[in-house]
Structures are given as structure tokens and as C-alpha cells.
Homo-oligomer: A and B are copies of this chain.
Amino acid sequence: MSVTAAAGFRAAGINAGLKESGRPDLALVVNDGPLDVAAGVFTTNRVAAAPVHWCRSVLAGEHGSPGAARAVILNSGSANACTGPQGAADTAATAARVAELLAHDRPGPQPGSVLVCSTGVIGVPLDMPNLLTGAAAAVRALADTPDAGHAAATAIMTTDTVSKEDTLHLDGWTIGGMIKGVGMLAPGMATMLCVITTDAVVDAGTAHSALSRAAARTVGRINSDGCMSTNDTVLLLASGASGKTPAPEDFGAAVQELLGRLGRRLVADAEGATHDIAITVTGAITEAAAEAAARTVSASNLLKCAVAGEDPNWGRVISQLGTVPEAVCPFDPDAVDVAINGVTVYRHGALGEDRSTVDMTPRETRIDIALNAGDAAATVWTNDLTHGYVTINADYTT
């Protein structure tokens, strides 16, 4: 169901001829209201793509009301990043064309602003003739069916091997979403894009704070390969069509639950991965310190290779943990415990239980690091580093 599960939304996914593979490459999600609330969080990369700059300006109210949007159009096949002034002009022209098409789609009030997302190879200009022709076809294909939602989720795939959708039904209202990406980010043919739709009645401020907080604790804590995309975008659209107004904390919890599930699917489909790895740091002095430590450990290629080889190599956990600056995350190295899949292989700075008793065969691998310095905890997800990753990113690049 994904983006069409909530009332008030239509979607489409079509083949606009943007990808050499001939697979679907253009998705459209339209909010038919009554509300047109929108929120977004974006890559922190200083080299942000043209569509990221555009979305930020839309949500800031530079082209209409702040915190509002009528629709999102998303293309795969080109990231429209590092494409200079022409890239920015192409994004603006795409948004204008979709707004014009939607004005004819259902006559009524002013169509509002259109958000734009792109994913694919960096430095490749958009194929504007095909994109604009495709936009018209996408508007014609709009439907509020599960199939239409699935078609949209399929059209944003790059090196993803499966489409990724999920839905939560709550107390009289619904929230659903689609995501693409193969890790937090980055593969040359990828980026994380996510669109969440809900029929709850929320205002723009509530939507933005719920999305920001949820993203920081879910997709913000995935580190597949340490690389950050120029295009990462998570959008939330609210139609209000259910007539239900959830309490802000309930709304925030639902957004976090959904985005957590969607993020978990990114990890499960990460390029070449054979193990998903949850690195949980407990006993830190703050949640930020726990997150920093878990993130540092998640970046170790050596650890990721060890997990690929089903080797419970705690030495690679500890040596990586030791690179976290003390100012960021204070702890006493001699007080640390490390458990891998439930076996405490390292205890208080020295050997723990026999590592040969660790079962490394499950796809989900749990690495639990107890700092014994405080009460805060955080989990960062990563995946193993395999021949498959090298194959995808070296052997077959173009």
C-alpha cells in the first residue's frame, strides 16, 4: 500500500525512458487534501543536489506557503547533482510543469508547490524532454490503489533489489511510506529517498518536528558504507482526510515506528550484504555519546569483513571503539564489555567467554557494547562488507 494507504493520496510509477535499463523511472505522489502539509529532512552534504536545494526552498515558503506542498515527483536514472545552474533550472522546470498538469487534473484552488527528488548517477544532466513527457503520463496514471503505490515505490529503485513499502493503521488514521536506497547512502547509482503520507490532521510544525526527530533516530542511524549522498531526502505529506487529530506524541511515535521499519529494509537490501549488524552502545553518559561510539564502530571495514566471514572478531570492535575521541564519549577502556550475538567475548578490558561459542550464522548480527560509564544508549545499523559490494561498486561501474 505504502504512499496510497492513507486517504487523500494518489500515486503513479511509470517508465519515462530515463534509465538505459528500460525499467520504471518516474514516480508521482499527489496530496488531494483537504490539507497540504509537508515536511522534509535532507542530506547534510555541502554538495547538495539541485532537487535538495529546491525542496528546501519550497518548504521554506519561497514558492508558496511554508510547510506546504501539493505533490512530489521523483525520478531515478540521474541524481541531477553537480550539474550546475542548468541542473537547478531543470528541477524548477519539472516542478512548474507538474503544478500546471495538476491544475488541469482537478480544477479547484491553486495547485500549490511541487517537491522534486532525483536519484542516480552524479553529474549526468536530466533528460528533460523525456522527463516532461513522462510527467504528463504520470498524471494520467494517478490512482489511489495499492497497485499505484507499489508502482511508485518501484519507479524510485536504483540498485535496490526489492521495492520497500510499509503502512501503519492507527486509531482512525493511517500512515504509510516508500523508501529506496541501499544503505544510508551513496552508491553511485543510489541515494536514500523516502516519501511518507498520512491522512492525520497535523500542522506543519508538528509534522516537521515529528519527522526530524524520527529521522535522526532511524535512517539517521544507518551507516551502510560510510558515504553520504548529495540527494538524501525524507518527505512527509499530510492530507488530513481522516479527520482525526492524533496527539503530537502519538503522531511522532508512529512516524518513528514507520521510518524505523523502512530504514530496516534499507539495511536488509544493502549492496552485497549477507548480514545486517545492529551495534548497540549502552552505559554512555549521553545518547549523543552512545550514538557517536556506535557510529564509529559501524564504520570499520575490518569489522564488516569479519562479520562477512562469520568471525566474531571482537578485537576489531574494541580497536575501532578506541578511536572515539574522549571528549565525545568518555569511558574507561578497562571497564568495557562486548557481547556478540549474546556471548560476552570481552569483559572489563580482557578476554571474556570463548569466542568459538558465538553463533554467527544468523543474518541479524547483534554487537552490544557496554561502556559502563552512564545510562544512555543508542543503536546504529550497518551491514557486512562482501565481495558483492566490491562487485557492484567496482566491477560493473560505467
Contacts and interface: CB of A to CB of B under 8 A. Distances in A.
A324 B46 CA distance: 8
A390 B308 contact: yes
Nearest to A228: B323
A188 interface: yes
A308 B351 contact: no
B315 A84 contact: no
Interface string A363-390: 0000000000000000000001111011
Given A46-B333, A227-B302, A301-B301, A81 B319 contact: yes
Nearest 10 pairs of A and B residues by beta carbon: A122-B315, A84-B350, A47-B322, A305-B393, A309-B394, A45-B322, A308-B394, A305-B394, A311-B397, A46-B322
Contacts of A230: 318-319, 322
Given A227-B319, A301-B301, 15 more contacts: A46-B333, A47-B321, A81-B315, A82-B346, A82-B349, A84-B351, A121-B315, A186-B316, A186-B319, A188-B302, A227-B301, A229-B319, A306-B394, A308-B394, A313-B397
Interface string A292-333: 000000011110011011010111101111111010000001
Contacts of A393: 301-302, 305-306, 309
Contacts of A82: 315, 318, 346, 349-351
A136 interface: no
Contacts of A398: 311
Contact of A319 (B45, B306, B334, B389): B45
Interface residues on A, range: 35 or more
Interface in A225-243: 225-230
A115 to B, nearest CB: 21
A228 B45 CA distance: 25
A266 to B, nearest CB: 16
A395 interface: yes
A299 B390 CA distance: 15
A168 interface: no
- Determine which residue in A321, A326, A395 has the highest number of CB atoms from chain B within 10 A of its CB, and name it: A395
A34 interface: no
Nearest to A306: B397
A397 B122 contact: no
Contact of A225 (B79, B301, B349): B301
